[in-house]
């Protein structure tokens, strides 16, 4: 790939500048999911007074670990998409002055966030181990699945950041949309525990089979339940990743030649 060096430098820049003027620096990227996990655990344990379902077959019964195994990939998705938009916007200085493949502004964010995801996952794996669940055997599946998830995320991020150059509303709209998406994705609830009423059944379907939901289900399978996702699910995830990525690339490729004059 031409400009590999450029992608490397941009990703490095992403990693370096993120916590530049902060004392705790990188630790912040861990505090974020940990605090979210803490809040959800307190709310569901003491406010809504719910009980975590047991992982099958792991037998794990633990809110914090369930939340974390979905939150980490979810945060990767939501942070990458929104940071990619502002990164392309913030790259105006570069875009208007030099010719280079603009998609690297998106890829560099994906790459940097992916590194963060890996570090956070390492901590999750340790926590699971402490709780008596050895996730190591599943890593050979988790990592390729992460790669597909990153591809899917990149596709969405490409499309959003390209549209955002022309209409800045996209980023505000996306803040709302991704929040809604968060709730129809089974990050903070068990789909099996949804009530068997109409709304519950609709949510159950969206959460289990929706684009983001099906990925999170697979990650729960691997981390929390300790079992293989079904072959169909894996196939669906792969197809979705490739399809969304191709679509994102196509949209970005169509719009990026006009970035320089629109910014």
Partner 1 sequence: MPDPTVILAVDHLVKSFRIHHQKSNSLKQLIAGRGRNRYDDFLAVDDVTFDVHEGEVFGIIGQNGSGKSTLLKCMAGILQPNAGSVRVTRRMGALLELGAGFHPELSGRENVYLNAAILGMGRKEIALRFDEIVDFSGLHAFIDQPAKTYSSGMYVRLAFAVAINVDPQLLIVDEILAVGDVSFQRRCLEKFVEFRNEGRTIVLVTHDLGSVKSLCDRAIWLERGKAIDEGDPSDLVEAYTERMLGAEAPAADGSVRRGSGEIRITKVEMFVNGSAFAVKRCRTNDDVLLRLYYQAEKTMPQPVVGIEIQSLGGATVTAPNTRDVGMVPPTMWGSGAIDVSLSNVALLPGTYDIHTTVTDFNRALIYDHLREALRFDVMTGKPYETDGVVTMRPEWKLS
CB of 14 to partner 1, least distance (A): 11
Q: Which is nearer to partner 1, 59 or 90 (CB)?
A: 90
Chain length of the chain? 263
Q: Which is nearer to partner 1, 20 or 199 (CB)?
A: 20
Q: Which is nearer to partner 1, 90 or 195 (CB)?
A: 90
Q: Which is nearer to partner 1, 51 or 258 (CB)?
A: 258
Question: Is the C-alpha dihedral spanning 86, 89, 95, 96 positive or negative?
Answer: negative
CB of 150 to partner 1, least distance (A): 22
Q: Which is nearer to partner 1, 71 or 159 (CB)?
A: 159
Cα–Cα distance between 205 and 54 in angstroms, integer? 21
Binding stretches for partner 1 (CB under 8 A): 2-3, 5-6, 8-10, 13, 16-17, 20, 91, 93-100, 166-170, 173, 257-258, 260-262
Beta strands in 70-213 (DSSP E): none
Contact call for residues 231 and 145 (beta carbons, < 8 A):
no
Contact call for residues 57 and 226 (beta carbons, < 8 A):
yes
Cα–Cα distance between 236 and 257 in angstroms, integer? 33
CB of 10 to partner 1, least distance (A): 7
CB of 5 to partner 1, least distance (A): 4
Determine which helix (DSSP H) or strand (DSSP E) holds 252, and give its type and residue range. Answer: helix 231-255
CB of 181 to partner 1, least distance (A): 19
CB of 28 to partner 1, least distance (A): 17
Cα–Cα distance between 29 and 102 in angstroms, integer? 26
Cα angle 44-45-49, degrees, rounded to a multiple of 5: 80
Contact call for residues 101 and 255 (beta carbons, < 8 A):
no
CB of 254 to partner 1, least distance (A): 11
Contact call for residues 102 and 88 (beta carbons, < 8 A):
yes
- Give CB contacts under 8 A, 24+ apart, made by 25-31: 29/116, 29/119, 29/120, 30/119, 30/120, 30/123
């Amino acid at each position: 790939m031409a400009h590999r060096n450029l992608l490397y430098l941009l990703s490095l820049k992403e990693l370096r500048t993120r916590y530049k003027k902060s004392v705790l620096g990188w630790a912040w990227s861990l505090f974020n999911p940990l605090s979210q996990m803490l809040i959800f655990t307190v709310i569901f344990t003491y406010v809504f007074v719910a009980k975590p379902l047991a992982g099958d077959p792991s037998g794990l019964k633990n809110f914090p670990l369930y939340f974390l195994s979905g939150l980490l990939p979810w945060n990767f998705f939501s942070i990458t998409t929104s940071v990619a938009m502002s990164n392309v916007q913030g790259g105006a200085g570069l875009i208007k002055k030099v010719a280079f493949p603009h998609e690297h502004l998106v890829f560099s964010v994906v790459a940097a966030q992916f590194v963060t995801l890996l570090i956070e996952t390492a901590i999750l794996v340790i926590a699971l181990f402490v709780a008596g669940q050895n996730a190591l055997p599943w890593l050979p599946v988790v990592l390729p699945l992460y790669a597909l998830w990153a591809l899917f995320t990149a596709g969405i991020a490409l499309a959003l950041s390209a549209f955002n150059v022309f209409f800045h509303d996209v980023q505000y709209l996306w803040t709302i949309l991704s929040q809604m998406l968060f709730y129809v994705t089974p990050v903070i609830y068990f789909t099996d525990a949804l009530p068997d009423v109409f709304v519950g059944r609709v949510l159950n379907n969206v959460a289990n089979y929706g684009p983001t939901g099906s990925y999170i289900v697979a990650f729960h399978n691997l981390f929390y339940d300790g079992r293989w996702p079904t072959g169909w699910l894996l196939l669906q995830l792969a197809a979705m990743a490739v399809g969304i990525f191709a679509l994102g690339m196509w949209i970005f490729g169509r719009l990026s030649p006009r970035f320089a004059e629109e910014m």
